[in-house]
Structure formats: C-alpha cells, structure tokens
Structure 1
Amino acid sequence: MYTIVRDAAQTFADTLIAAAATPMTTDRRTDTEVTKSYFESLVSTGADGLAVAVHTGRPPVLDMPTRAELVSVACSMTPIVVTGVSSAEGGPDEREWPILAARAGASALLVFASAGESVGTALGRYDELWNSTGLPLIAFDLYSNPYSLDELSELLDHPAVAAFKPARLYDAVACQDAIALARERGRCVLSGEDRMLGPSLMWGAQGALVGLAAATVRPTAALISAHRDGDARAFLRASSAVDALAVSTFRQPWDGYVQRMLWIAADEGLIPSEYAVDPLRPAGLHDAEHDEVIAAARRAHEILSSGDA
C-alpha cells in the first residue's frame, strides 16, 4: 500500500467525518461567511473532519468554483477534508473536479458508484483518480447502486483505497459482510450507516462518515468516542440518542434527509433559516414533518445529557 494511503487509513480510524450540507438559498446562492460559520460549528461540536460536496452537499447544483471554495473553507479548519467524485468519468467538469479538489486541499476522495458500470470500468477510474491527484480513495457501497461482494473485493484490493464506506441503509447482512471483507483487506471502515450506526461499529467499523452529523453532532461524536474507549454505558446512551435522531431524519422519502438536517441546522443556529434550502428536495417530503424532526433532534441532546437510554 502506498505510504500516503496507509497514513490516511490510520488518520481515519476512530474519527467522525461530518457529511456537511451546503447552505444555500432558494435561488441556489451560497455565502462564504455562512458556510465558514456552519463548518466551524460542526468541527467545534465534535466532527474530526468534513466531507463537502458529497451527496449531502448536493454537488450536482454546484459549479466547480463553488465546490472548490467549499473544500478550501473546510481545509481552513480541519486537516481531514473529503469530497465526492464519480466512479465514471462523466463530462469535462467531472473529469476536472478531482484535480481541482486536490489543488484546493482535499485529503481524500469518496468514490460513488455509477449505475450499470462494470468493476473493470470502476477500477480504471480508480487508477485515473490516483494518477491525476495522488489522493487516497474511499470506496463507497451505496444502497442505490450496491456492489456484490465479489465486485467489492476487487475494488478494496486497489492499492489507492485507504478506507471503505458502507451505506446499505437497512440491509444489515450486506453491511456486516462488507465490513468483514474490508477489514480482511486491511482497509479502514468509515460507517455510512445512519440508521444502524451503533451496530455497524460493533460489526467492525472504526469510524463514521455520515450525513447524520450535518447537524446535532454531539450524539454521533459521543458514540464514536465511546466505541473507541470501550465504554459500554456511554456507548448505549449515545446510541440511543443517535437512533432517536436517525429514525426521524432517515426515513422515506430517503433523500429527504438533506432537507431534514438543514431544518435542524437552522433550528440550532448553525445557519440562517433562509440558507436551509435543499434544491433537490424530493416531492414526497412535506413541511408538516418539520416540527417532528426538530423535536427528535432536541430529544437526542436530552438523552445524551440526561443519561437516559
């Protein structure tokens, strides 16, 4: 394994990387100071690193300069900055983006699967990403385009892969099998399992890269810390707090979690309410959910503070 990849794997262990949203208005306008304040809040409340312009950050609606600015702002407050890239080349902008991200200071690339592609195509893309950027890669197994274990085995064997992120939503068996495979290959596992985060840590994940940490960071940070320290009582309490939040934010429509986390971020004062807009909000998400989501976030804090489990 390349030295930079090995070092990245060691850096990722026992960390919480918050998959940050991108604060923007209804006309898709971003603001550097709003973004900076939001990112600072995530780090100051427990995130060890930031993943920006990944799915939670809605990269399809962001131009390349805006994405690069997000990376640069994140790099000003943490050395662990991940951004997302596709396992397919895509158009000219998508081919250029990994190089721009590296120049902006990104420390790793989270590689999304593309629908219908072969493992050979993905491996070729891994080669290209490594050769063009020199950045370690995080292989991403997402429920919407899941890999078979055989396919995943080939990807995890790529020498540029420092870590693996499973996000199988509610497929516990697939998650367990994939984590075991990644650990056998010596790869750090960063759980993306917002709805089964505690169990995924017990199954072998060493840290987390989750949209659940786009707001209300402390419960998730406490869960990672308790797991690292082997504190069973604290782990149970933090897991109860995380689950209280996840059950209200990660549910159908599944992609509504971005808007739900933005609602919470605004309620917590992390961003102004006019910047709590998801431009890709699914049609099935209704504003009637708002109060319930906010109550769940507040309940998560109460559980963590009170010691209830």
Structure 2
Amino acid sequence: MPPQTYTHESLGSADLTLNSILDLIVEGIWDWNGETGNVVRSPGWYRMLGYPVGVLLPDVFTWEEIIHPNEYADVMLHIEQYINGESDVYHIEYRCKKLDGSYLWIEDRARAVQRDSDGIVTRLIGSHHDIHDRKMAEEELERQTLLLQQGNQTLERLLAHKAEALEASNRQLQEQIVKVERISHTDALTRVANREKANLELTKEISRSQRYNHPLSLVFFDINDFKLINDNYGHNVGDQVLVELAKRVSLALRSIDSLARWGGDEFLIILPSSDLQQTSGVVLKLQSVIAATAFVNNIDLECSFGAVEYQQNETMVELFQRADHAMYEDKDPEAFSARKKITD
C-alpha cells in the first residue's frame, strides 16, 4: 500500500498545520535569513530555555548574547566557516543561558537551504536539542571514574569539600572580576561606557558586521561652545550638563546601541544594523531630545553630530577619522571646507 499523503486547500491551512507541528515539537527550531537578518524561532526553542514565547528580538544578537562565554568563540568560528563554505557540516554543542540565569547544554544542528552566487549561505534552518542530562551524566561518570581510580573514599569526601570551597572562592573571584571590569569600562562622571569600552564594543560590532554583512554606523557628537558653559557657570554646572546629556541620549537609543564618553564633552554612539539613512534619523531624534531638555540654569544646549556608515575592510582609525570630520563639518561647514582644501 502506498504511503498516505496529505494536501491542504490553501496556503493558510498549510501554515496553520506547520505552526501547530512546531508548537508540539520539543526541540527548538530556528530559521535564519541572512538577507534580512531575521531569525524565526519555534515555541519549543523558547520553552527549552524558560523564556516566554516571542519575548526575544528576532535577530542573531539575542542568540549570541545567551551563548556561554567559554564556548562563544568556538561557536562563532564554527558558524562563520559553515556560512563561508569552509565547512560542510554545522553541528556543535554549547551552553545557552536560560531565563533563570543558569546554563543549558544544547546540541545545535543546521543545514543551508539557500546560498548566493558565491556559495555563501543566505538562509539556515536548524534545531536545538536539550542534551543537558547527557552532559551532566558524562561529567558525573568522569568524576566517579576518577574516584574509583583513586580508590579512597576519604579522599573523595576531602575532594568534595575542597571542590565546594573552590567553587565558592571562584564565585567570589568572578564577582570581583565583573565588578572591576564594570568599573574600568565605565565613565566615572556620566556612568556611560568609557573610551576603552567603546573600542572593545566597536571591534566586536565590526566583526559582527563582517560576519553577517549587516550595516553598522558610528556617530560622534560634542557640545558647541562647552568651554563657555564652564567659564560662565563653573565646572560643577558643566559636569551636571554632561550627566544630563548622557542620560537623555541613552534613553533615546535602542538596547543594542552603545553610548560612550570619548573624552571631555565628546561622545560616541555605535549603532549595529543601522545604515547611514537610518542613523541620520536617529541624529534628528537626538537633536530634538536635546532641544526639549531643560538643562541646569536653563542652558540652551546645541550639539554637533558626525554620522558615518562602516565600509567593509575599513580600519577603525579610518572610521574614526571620517566620523570626526563629519562632526567638524556639521559644527562649521565653511571652516571645514577651508581646512579640507589646505589638507588636500
């Protein structure tokens, strides 16, 4: 007897059937579109990690953020090699962060279903399979094997005690490392990222832009005539202006954007997945926010902005220089034109 087949009277009926199947599947199914950057995840994907269905943004950023730091580099290398055709198989095991903060071991498999003319993967469909119990059993087996080899139950108890003490010490050490890192990467006055953190974030976002061929933009801005504010009202008032400005700009940006104090009254904004046209809209929004803000002593604040879009294979120095020139031109177009003629 030939196998029974099923047909659907409409595309909507087929979609309903597919969505019902995805909702029942325990494994987490995902579908990445490299041309749009969009990632579709099944309800099982969310349930596996304890997240409410659909709570995360449908992009690769949310996936990268939940990968365990110890496996992040290996996972990025693995997917890059597969996307670029350097590897024929995408199959890797790593840990993902759950809603409660714990990590779950998963097995990630995927297959390319679409490539461009150069053979680069533009669409991937894959699945996450919960292998946490297996990994825990393997670790426990290794531990028990070690204890059997040692053949000493007293030593076993001693090791367990030492392990607990070591784990507690490691937790405290990790907390201190995180605290020190946070302090070292935060501007003491405005509480936004400092210059060192901005360099690290931009390096990461440039790699991400190259990996997924996503747009990336950079904005420099500073306060016009900020020296006059310090001279007329004092440095304490100037500091209050900087703090309020950083606060207002931070609130107006997306969660994936990064604001940093570059130095003095100069700030930098990193905007992933944002081309120059979109970034120009962000600049207009920030100008409106600044104009509507009641700064201390009723100071009317004006800022100059320089926005540029990252060009593939451009160095960070070149990107910074273009953003700085764009800001200088916004501040004084005639002076910038004269200076450009001299430098040319």
Which TM-score band (shorter chain)?
under 0.3
Choose 1 or 2 for highest CA Rg.
2
**Normalised TM-score (structure 1):** 0.25
Structure number with greater CO (CA < 8 Å, separation at least 6) is 1
Q: Which has the higher strand share?
A: 2
